Amino acid sequence: MRLPKFEYFTPKTLNEALALLKEQGEGAYIMAGGTDIVVKMLHGRLRPKSVIALQEIDGINKISFSPQEGLTIGATARIVNILSHPDILQYYPALTDAVKVMANIEVRNMGTVVGNLCNAAPSADTAPPLITMGSVVVLTSLEGERRLSLDEFFKGPGITAMNQGEIMTSVFVPLPQPRSGGSYKRISARCGVDIAPASAGTMAVFRDEICSDVKLVLGAVAPIPLRAYRTENLLRGKQWTHELIQDAGYEAAEESMPISDCRASAEWRKKMVAVLTRRTLVEAYERSKKN
Amino acid sequence: MKEFSIIGKDVPRTDAIVKARGAAAYTDDMKLPGMLHGRILRSPLPHALIKNIDTSKAASLPGVKCVVTAEDTPKIKYGNWRLFPETQDEYPLAIDKVRFIGDEVAAVAAIDKDIAEEALELIDVEYEELPAVFDVDIAMKSEAPVLHDYCPTNISVNRKIKYGDVEKGFAESDYVREDTFTVHGVSHAYLEPCSALAQVDLDGRITIWTSTQVPYIVQCLLASTLGMRENDIRVIKPFVGGGFGGKMELRTWEFCAALMAKRTGRPVKFTLSREEEFLAGRRRHPMKLHSKIGFKKDGTIVAKDLKIQLDGGAYNAMGPTATFLCGNFGAMLYRYPNYRFHGQHIYTNKPPASAMRGFGAPQSLYATEIQMNIAAEDLGIDPIDIRLKNAQVSGDKIPDVATISSCGFVESIQRVAEMSGWKEKRNSLKLGQGIGIGCYSFISGGVFNWFNTQYPFSAAEVRVFSDGTAHLLTMAADIGQGSDTVLKQILAEELGLTMEDIRMTSADTAMTPQGDLGSWGSRVTLMAGNAVVNAAKKIKEELFGAVSAHHNLNVIHEIECKNGRVQAKTRPDYGLSFGEAVALVQKANRGEPLVARGSYTPRGKGLVTPAFGFGAQVAEVEVDKETGLVKVKEMWTAHDCGTVINPRSVEGQLAGSIQMGLGYALSEQFVMDGGKTLNANFADYKMPTAMDMPLSHVTHVDTYENEGPMGAKECGEGLASPTAPAISDAVYHATGYRCKDLPITPEKILEHVEKTEDVGLESRKTLHCDLEPEPYKIG
Beta bridge partners of B183: B287
pLDDT at B27 over 50: yes
Q: Which residues of A touch B692 (CB under 8 A)?
A: 190-192
- SS3 per-residue string spanning chain A: CCCCCCEEECCCCHHHHHHHHHHHCCCEEEECCCCCHHHHHHCCCCCCCEEEECCCCCCCCCEEEECCCEEEEECCCEHHHHHCCHHHHHHCHHHHHHHHHCCCHHHHHHCEHHHHHHHCCCCCCCHHHHHHCCCEEEEEECCEEEEEEHHHCEEECCEECCCCCCEEEEEEECCCCCCEEEEEEECCCCCCCCCCCCEEEEEEEEECCEEEEEEEEEECCCCCCEECHHHHHHHCCEECCHHHHHHHHHHHHHHCCCCCCCCCCHHHHHHHHHHHHHHHHHHHHHHHCCC
Check if A275 contacts B (Cβ < 8 Å).
yes
CA dihedral B605→B609→B613→B616, nearest 10 degrees, is -120
State whether A189 and B629 contact (CB < 8 Å): yes
Using N-to-C axis directions, what is the helix angle for B383-390 and B361-379, rounded to 10°? 110
Q: Are A176 and A244 in contact (CB under 8 A)?
A: no
CA dihedral B190→B272→B211→B187, nearest 10 degrees, is 30
CA dihedral B410→B415→B421→B423, nearest 10 degrees, is 20
Q: Are B100 and B352 in contact (CB under 8 A)?
A: yes
Check if B552 contacts A (Cβ < 8 Å).
no
Task: State how far residue A149 is from chain B, nearest Cα, in angstroms.
Answer: 31
State whether A278 and B776 contact (CB < 8 Å): yes
Q: Residues B703-720: what's their mean pLDDT? A: 96
H helix or E strand, kind and range, residue B640: strand B630-640
State whether A264 and B118 contact (CB < 8 Å): no
pLDDT at B698 over 70: yes
Q: Residues B691-708: what's their mean pLDDT? A: 96
Percent of chain B with pLDDT over 70: 97
Residue B389 CA to residue B375 CA, distance in Å, equals 13
| pLDDT score for B421 | 97
What 3-state DSSP class applies to B310?
A: strand
The domains located in chain B, with CATH, are 16-22+457-600 (3.30.365.10), 31-130+191-242+247-280 (3.90.1170.50), 287-447+607-768 (3.30.365.10)
State whether A189 and B686 contact (CB < 8 Å): yes
Question: ipTM of this model?
Answer: 0.93
| pLDDT score for B401 | 82
Check if B774 contacts A (Cβ < 8 Å).
no
Q: Give the angle B645-B641-B374 at the CA atoms, nearest 5°.
A: 155
State whether B777 and A268 contact (CB < 8 Å): no
Check if A189 contacts B (Cβ < 8 Å).
yes
What 3-state DSSP class applies to B592?
A: coil
pLDDT at B728 over 80: yes
> Nearest CA to B286 among B342, B362, B340?
B362
Q: Residue B25 carries which side chain, given as an amino acid letter? A: A
Residue of chain A whose alpha carbon sits nearest to that of B748: A268
State whether B692 and A190 contact (CB < 8 Å): yes
| pLDDT score for B400 | 78
User: Could you count the other beta carbons within 10 Å of the beta carbon of residue B770?
Assistant: 12
For residue A191, give the nearest of B117, B691, B775 by CB distance: B691
Task: State how far residue A170 is from chain B, nearest Cα, in angstroms.
Answer: 29
Q: Which residues of A touch B671 (CB under 8 A)?
A: 262
pLDDT at B758 over 80: no
Beta bridge partners of A219: A199
Q: Are B639 and B616 in contact (CB under 8 A)?
A: yes
| pLDDT score for A191 | 63
Q: Which residues of A touch B113 (CB under 8 A)?
A: 2
- B614-672, pLDDT tens digit by residue? 999 999 999 998 999 999 999 999 999 999 999 999 999 999 999 999 999 999 999 99
State whether B629 and A187 contact (CB < 8 Å): yes
Check if B675 contacts A (Cβ < 8 Å).
no
Task: State how far residue B121 is from chain A, nearest Cα, in angstroms.
Answer: 12
Q: Are B459 and B453 in contact (CB under 8 A)?
A: no
Q: Residue B94 carries which side chain, given as an amino acid letter? A: A
Q: Are B103 and B43 in contact (CB under 8 A)?
A: yes
H helix or E strand, kind and range, residue B225: helix B215-226
pLDDT at B757 over 80: no
| pLDDT score for A43 | 85
State whether A189 and B114 contact (CB < 8 Å): no
State whether B747 and A263 contact (CB < 8 Å): no
pLDDT at B775 over 60: no
The domains located in chain A, with CATH, are 7-53 (3.30.43.10), 63-173 (3.30.465.10), 180-288 (3.30.390.50)
Residue A137 CA to residue A118 CA, distance in Å, equals 10
pLDDT at B762 over 70: no
Q: Which residues of A touch B628 (CB under 8 A)?
A: 268
Check if A271 contacts B (Cβ < 8 Å).
yes
pLDDT at B436 over 80: yes
State whether A242 and B776 contact (CB < 8 Å): yes
> Nearest CA to B252 among B229, B232, B282?
B282
Give the phi and the psi of residue A51 in degrees, each rounded to 5: -120, 125
State whether B683 and A209 contact (CB < 8 Å): no
Residue B765 DSSP code: G
Q: Are A195 and A186 in contact (CB under 8 A)?
A: no
| pLDDT score for B2 | 67
For residue B118, give the nearest of A2, A194, A275 by CB distance: A2
Of the residues B122, B686, B778, the best mutation for testing chain A's interface (the one with the most A CB atoms within 10 Å of its CB) is: B778
Check if A193 contacts B (Cβ < 8 Å).
yes
> Nearest CA to A44 among A85, A3, A98, A73?
A3
For residue A193, give the nearest of B626, B689, B776 by CB distance: B689
For residue A241, give the nearest of B114, B666, B778 by CB distance: B778
Give the phi and the psi of residue B602 in degrees, each rounded to 5: -65, 135
**What is the DSSP track for B729-753?**
HHHHHHHS---SBSS--HHHHHHHH
State whether B775 and A242 contact (CB < 8 Å): yes
Check if B634 contacts A (Cβ < 8 Å).
no
Task: State how far residue B272 is from chain A, nearest Cα, in angstroms.
Answer: 12
H helix or E strand, kind and range, residue B494: helix B483-495
| pLDDT score for A40 | 92
| pLDDT score for A192 | 61
- B72-111, pLDDT tens digit by residue? 999 999 999 999 999 999 999 999 999 999 999 999 999 9
**What is the DSSP track for B169-214?**
HHHT-SEEEEEEEEE---B---SS--EEEEEE-TTS-EEEEE--S-
Q: Which residues of A touch B779 (CB under 8 A)?
A: 209, 240
State whether A192 and B678 contact (CB < 8 Å): no
What 3-state DSSP class applies to B313?
A: strand
Residue B299 DSSP code: S
Beta bridge partners of B461: B473, B597
| pLDDT score for A224 | 97
Beta bridge partners of B126: B52
pLDDT at B415 over 70: yes
Antiparallel, parallel or unpaired: β B206-210 and B233-236: parallel
Residue B765 CA to residue B736 CA, distance in Å, equals 7
> Nearest CA to A8 among A57, A49, A58, A59?
A49
User: Which of the residue ranges A262-266, B41-45, B572-576 would you say has the lowest mean pLDDT?
Assistant: A262-266
| pLDDT score for B761 | 39
- B266-282, pLDDT tens digit by residue? 999 999 999 999 999 99
Check if A179 contacts B (Cβ < 8 Å).
no
Q: Give the angle B68-B72-B77 at the CA atoms, nearest 5°.
A: 105
Task: State how far residue A250 is from chain B, nearest Cα, in angstroms.
Answer: 13
For residue B779, give the nearest of A189, A209, A265 by CB distance: A209
For residue A262, give the nearest of B667, B679, B747 by CB distance: B679
pLDDT at B766 over 60: no
H helix or E strand, kind and range, residue B288: strand B287-295
Residues 6+ apart with CB under 8 A from B380: none
| pLDDT score for A193 | 72
Percent of chain A with pLDDT over 70: 99
| pLDDT score for A189 | 74
pLDDT at B777 over 60: no
State whether B671 and A267 contact (CB < 8 Å): no
| pLDDT score for B779 | 33
For residue A262, give the nearest of B626, B678, B692 by CB distance: B678
Q: How far is CA B582 from CA B464, B468, B549, B577, in A?
A: 7, 8, 13, 9
State whether B684 and A195 contact (CB < 8 Å): yes
For residue A262, give the nearest of B684, B687, B747 by CB distance: B684
Antiparallel, parallel or unpaired: β A199-207 and A180-186: antiparallel
| pLDDT score for A44 | 85
Residue of chain A whose alpha carbon sits nearest to that of B683: A194
Residue B50 DSSP code: E
- B135-172, pLDDT tens digit by residue? 999 999 999 999 999 999 999 999 999 999 999 999 99
Residues 6+ apart with CB under 8 A from B205: B232, B233, B234
Residue B491 CA to residue B594 CA, distance in Å, equals 15
Residue B274 CA to residue B272 CA, distance in Å, equals 7
Give the phi and the psi of residue B421 in degrees, each rounded to 5: 65, 40
pLDDT at B772 over 90: no
Confidence of residue B768 (pLDDT cuts 50, 70, 90): very low
- A178-208, pLDDT tens digit by residue? 999 999 999 987 766 788 899 999 999 999 8
> Nearest CA to B139 among B195, B100, B85?
B100
| pLDDT score for B513 | 97
Average pLDDT of the residues of chain B: 95
Q: Are A167 and A17 in contact (CB under 8 A)?
A: yes
Task: State how far residue A242 is from chain B, nearest Cα, in angstroms.
Answer: 6
State whether A191 and B750 contact (CB < 8 Å): no
Residues 6+ apart with CB under 8 A from B575: B547, B551, B559, B565, B566, B567, B568
Q: Which residues of B touch A240 (CB under 8 A)?
A: 778-779
Strand order in the sheet with B155-163: B155-163, B338-347, B301-313, B287-295, B175-183
Confidence of residue A252 (pLDDT cuts 50, 70, 90): very high
Pairwise pLDDT comparison (B757 vs B100), residue with the higher score: B100
Residue of chain A whose alpha carbon sits nearest to that of B677: A262
Q: Residue-wise over B126-158: b if at least 16 C-beta within 10 A, else e? A: ebeebebbbebeebbeeebbbbbeebeebbbbe
- B346-400, pLDDT tens digit by residue? 999 999 999 999 999 999 999 999 999 999 999 999 999 999 999 999 999 998 7
Q: Residue-wise over B629-652: b if at least 16 C-beta within 10 A, else e? A: bbebeebbbbbbbbbbbbeebbbb
> Nearest CA to B345 among B329, B360, B367?
B360
Strand order in the sheet with A28-31: A7-9, A50-53, A28-31
pLDDT at B771 over 90: no
pLDDT at B767 over 80: no
Q: Which residues of A touch B37 (CB under 8 A)?
A: none
